[in-house]
Structure 1
Amino acid sequence: MAEYRIDDLARVSGTTVRNIRVYQDRGLLPPPIRRGRTAIYTDAHLSRLRLVTNMLGRGYAFAQIAEMLAAWESGRSLADVLGLEEAMGAPWSSELPAPITIRELRRMFGNQLTPANTRKALELGLLQRQGVGFVAPSPQLLEAGYELVKLGVPLDEVIELAGVLQREVDHVAGLMVGLVRRYVLDPKGEDWLPSGDEVPYYADVLRRLPPVVISALTAAVARSTARVIPDMLGDRLEALIKSSRLSSD
């Protein structure tokens, strides 16, 4: 089992040290293991932290989350709790958030890194503040934006595109996950919680779901790219041929 200090836990989970301490104070996160004066966190803390962050993002208040966690833990063994919680809090990607300084961002985007563009990137979650610098939740997405800017696309247009892309992907991923919810989870009823014997099965469902969604989205994007780029090139070639004919006439 991996071990983390609080700074490492914040980096891996994509949150802040301050948030972790607040969650601990509210009873949403178990206390760390103490080794002398050093606080050590484990994968169990990481799973709980991701679960709490997800529930906060869905609009639940601290008190509601604490009540649901208490209800879930009541009468269940530690293995039951951690088994399903680990699957529920597991990351959907192996990509880790990466710190980035304002100097690095300026080197990438030059004078296009305006206060307005920075604010928009923060609003969309493309960047997160961390001390005097930032964290990129998805370094790959940041790199893709950088490549588009290098090609000549304005940064504000790239940021706008990132927002549209996230909304569209959320919608499609939601459709796929919704099917699993409708046919696997909902038939059990809204108040249902898995028993100890059922935990391994539903934990396996949750672990298998992210790779299926990611694989389907990746395949769909590849197919779309294979159609869209040749269409664009064909349009440009047709325009060049027409222009050449007009010039010769």
Structure 2
Amino acid sequence: MTTDATTEAATDTGEPALTIDELAAQAGVTVRTIRFYGSKGLLPPPVIGPRRVGHYGPGHVARLALIEELQQQGMTLAAIERYLGQLPPDLTPHDLAIHRAVVASWAPDLVETVSRRELERRAGRPLAAEDVERLEAMSVVMRGDGDTFRVDSGLLRLGVRLLDVPLSQDAILAARKVLIEHSRAAAHELAQLFRGEVAERDARDVKSLSAHMHPLVVQALLTTFQRSLREELSEWLTGSRTG
């Protein structure tokens, strides 16, 4: 989408700076869709500015992206409405982006072999040699035969975003190890807890329960982790100021 410098600057600060036409173009939807989502309560109302023109911000963009991801996972409009209704009302665009990444993880694990050109297309940006090396170190891509790569589609988006994080490769890999170890421990304990509940049920009931519990457990883990991380960072920043 093409915007003027004033609009771009305002958007970067998080202020509502997009008209409904600009929001539609950036999100890849129609104006009619945005209005429909607003009427359903899926999208917050715009901020009314001078001349009674509504303006939208990064939060609207992030929420539309989350809705799109939920639709791609096969959720009905009613299910999306319930899902969004359970989210805390004060989520930032960054929080919504994290939720979108978690929703994307509901899809089955998919490793595909692609060309270098296709890898960059999916990454949404050119990849220098060092970028590919970092993605390999994070086990997001693996070199195949010739100029091909085996790509973990579920991790590619996250891996590409980590390329711009100002952390060393060692720190990112150490964080990955911590997350994997603790998530596996949590998954094991939850599986043990639920196993007792389904022991007397037949296979169809177990499959149905698993399908329903997967997104709910992921959302619960995400919410509790976000709160814990926010508290840890707040304590750290407070200590840094007083230390």
TM-score by length of 1: 0.42
TM-score by length of 2: 0.43
Q: Using CA pairs below 8 Å that are at least 6 residues apart, which structure has the higher relative contact order?
A: 1
